[in-house]
C-alpha cells in the first residue's frame, strides 16, 4: 500500500514559525529519501498553533527541495479563492515540477469566521455552497475548455503545461464522498477530523458505490488520512502520543494549541470523564511499535477499500517524528 504524509506545520511551544517551516523542509527531504508517495500541506488561518496559512507556497518550496515525492495541498480551501487563480498557481507549480503536483481541494473554512470574511469579503456573508461549481471551474481552467456559453469564453489559464496537476476532493462527510464520486475524482477522507463512529465506513462506501468513471479516473481511488505515531516500543509510542492527544482535548473545546512536551501534556487530565474522552479519541489513532502498527494497518486495509494511507504525526520531539515515519515505511513495506 502507498504511504504518504500530511504536514500541518504544527508548532511546538516556544518554536518560531521560521523554525517550524525549517522542520517541514527537513521532514519532506527525509520522507522523500524513504520513498513516501506524496507530501501534502494543510491550510489554516488565524491561529498561532498551525503555521501553514498558504499551502501552495510551501508546496512550491518543497518541490524545489525534494526529488521524487509528489507534493500538494491537503488542501486549498477553495471557497476562499478564485478558481481561476488557483488553477494558474498550480499550473505554474506543474511547469516547475512536471508530474509531481497534487491539487487537493476542500470546502472547510480552515480557521476563524473572521478569517473567512477577510479572505472572501462580502461573499462570506452569503452562506451559499459554491464548492461543487468551483471544482468544475478549476477543471475547466486546467483543461482550457470553458463552455461556449461561459461569460468568460475565450479566457486562457496560463501557463499552458504538458502535465497538469492531479485534482483530489477532500472531505469528512457523505456529501464530499458523493461529490468526488459524481465528478469521477480521487477522494481523500480526513479520518483524523471525523471521529463519528462509522463515519469513514459510510463515506467510503458511498464514494465507491456511486463512482462515475471520468477522463481523470476510471475507477475509485481512496486515500485516508489518520494520526499515526510509531516508536521502537508500544510503550514509547503511547507516551509520545500524549502531545497529540492533548491537542485533540483542547480542540474539542474550541481551542487550537501548540504541541507540548509529552511529559506534561496530560498531567492536568484527572477527571474520569476527560480520561474516557481521551481514550475514545485514541481509538481513532494508529499507535504502537512497528510490529503493532503493521498489524493495525493490515486490519484497516482488510476492512476498508483503501489505496493509500496518509499519516499525520504530531510528535513533539522532531527526531522522534522522523523516526516514526521511518518505522511506518518499514511497517507497510514488510
pLDDT of the residue at 150 = 84
CA 67 – CA 205 distance, rounded (Å): 35
pLDDT of the residue at 125 = 63
CA 255 – CA 46 distance, rounded (Å): 12
User: In the chain, what are the domain boundaries?
Assistant: 2-233+285-333
Q: What is the pLDDT of residues 238-276, one digit of tens each?
A: 999 999 999 999 998 889 999 999 999 999 888 999 999
pLDDT of the residue at 219 = 97
CA 40 – CA 20 distance, rounded (Å): 15
pLDDT of the residue at 286 = 97
Cell readout for 197 is 463512529
Q: Which residue has cell 504536514?
A: 7
Q: Tell me the torsion sign for CA atoms 315, 318, 320, 325.
A: positive
CA 164 – CA 74 distance, rounded (Å): 17
pLDDT of the residue at 197 = 75
> Max CA-CA distance within the chain?
64
Q: Which long-range contacts (CB under 8 A, 24 or more apart) does 152-158 make?
A: 155/84, 157/84, 157/87, 157/88, 157/91, 158/88, 158/91
CA 279 – CA 75 distance, rounded (Å): 28
| Alpha helices per DSSP H over 13-165 | 17-34, 55-65, 83-96, 113-120, 131-143
> In this structure, are residues 63 and 100 in contact, taking their beta carbons and an 8 Å threshold?
yes
pLDDT of the chain along its 334 residues, tens only? 899 999 999 999 989 999 999 999 999 999 999 999 999 999 999 999 999 999 999 999 999 999 999 999 998 999 999 999 999 999 999 999 999 999 999 998 777 778 888 888 767 666 667 899 999 999 999 998 888 888 888 899 999 999 999 999 999 999 999 999 999 999 999 999 877 778 999 999 999 999 999 999 999 999 999 999 999 999 999 999 999 999 999 998 889 999 999 999 999 888 999 999 999 999 899 999 999 999 999 999 999 999 999 999 999 999 999 999 999 999 998 7
pLDDT of the residue at 122 = 67
CATH 3.20.20.70 assigned to domain 2-233+285-333? The reply is no
CA 166 – CA 258 distance, rounded (Å): 32
Q: What is the pLDDT of residues 293-316, one digit of tens each?
A: 999 999 999 999 999 999 999 999
Amino acid at each position: 500500500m502507498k504511504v504518504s504524509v500530511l504536514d500541518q506545520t504544527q508548532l511546538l511551544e516556544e518554536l518560531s514559525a521560521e523554525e517550524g517551516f525549517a522542520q517541514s523542509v527537513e521532514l519532506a527531504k527525509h520522507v522523500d529519501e524513504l520513498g513516501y508517495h506524496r507530501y501534502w500541506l494543510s491550510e489554516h488561518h488565524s491561529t498561532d498553533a498551525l503555521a501553514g496559512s498558504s499551502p501552495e507556497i510551501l508546496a512550491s518550496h518543497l518541490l524545489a527541495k525534494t526529488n521524487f515525492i509528489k507534493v500538494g495541498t491537503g488542501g486549498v480551501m477553495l471557497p476562499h479563492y478564485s478558481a481561476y487563480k488557483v488553477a494558474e498557481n498550480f499550473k505554474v507549480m506543474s511547469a516547475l515540477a512536471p508530474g509531481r503536483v497534487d491539487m487537493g481541494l476542500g470546502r472547510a473554512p480552515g480557521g476563524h469566521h473572521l478569517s473567512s470574511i477577510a479572505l472572501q469579503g462580502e461573499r462570506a456573508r452569503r452562506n451559499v455552497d459554491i464548492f461543487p461549481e468551483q471544482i468544475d471551474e478549476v477543471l475547466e481552467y486546467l483543461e482550457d475548455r470553458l463552455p461556449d456559453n461561459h461569460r468568460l469564453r475565450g479566457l486562457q489559464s496560463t501557463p499552458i503545461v504538458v502535465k497538469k496537476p492531479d485534482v483530489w476532493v477532500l472531505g469528512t462527510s457523505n456529501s464530499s464522498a458523493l461529490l468526488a464520486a459524481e465528478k469521477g475524482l480521487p477522494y481523500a477522507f480526513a479520518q483524523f477530523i471525523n471521529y463519528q463512529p462509522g463515519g469513514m465506513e459510510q463515506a467510503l462506501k458511498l464514494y465507491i458505490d456511486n463512482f462515475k468513471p471520468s477522463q481523470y479516473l476510471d475507477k475509485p481511488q481512496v486515500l485516508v488520512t489518520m494520526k499515526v505515531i510509531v516508536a521502537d516500543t508500544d510503550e514509547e509510542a503511547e507516551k509520545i502520543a500524549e502531545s497529540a492527544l492533548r491537542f485533540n482535548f483542547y480542540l474539542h473545546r474550541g481551542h487550537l494549541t501548540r504541541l507540548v512536551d509529552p511529559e506534561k501534556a496530560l498531567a492536568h487530565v484527572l477527571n474520569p470523564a476527560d480520561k474516557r474522552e481521551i481514550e475514545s479519541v485514541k481509538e481513532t489513532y494508529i499507535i504502537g511499535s512497528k510490529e503493532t502498527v503493521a498489524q493495525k494497518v493490515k486490519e484497516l486495509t482488510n476492512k476498508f477499500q483503501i489505496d493509500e494511507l496518509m499519516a499525520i504525526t504530531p510528535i513533539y520531539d522532531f527526531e522522534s517524528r522522523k523516526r516514526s515515519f521511518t518505522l511506518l515505511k518499514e511497517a507497510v513495506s514488510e
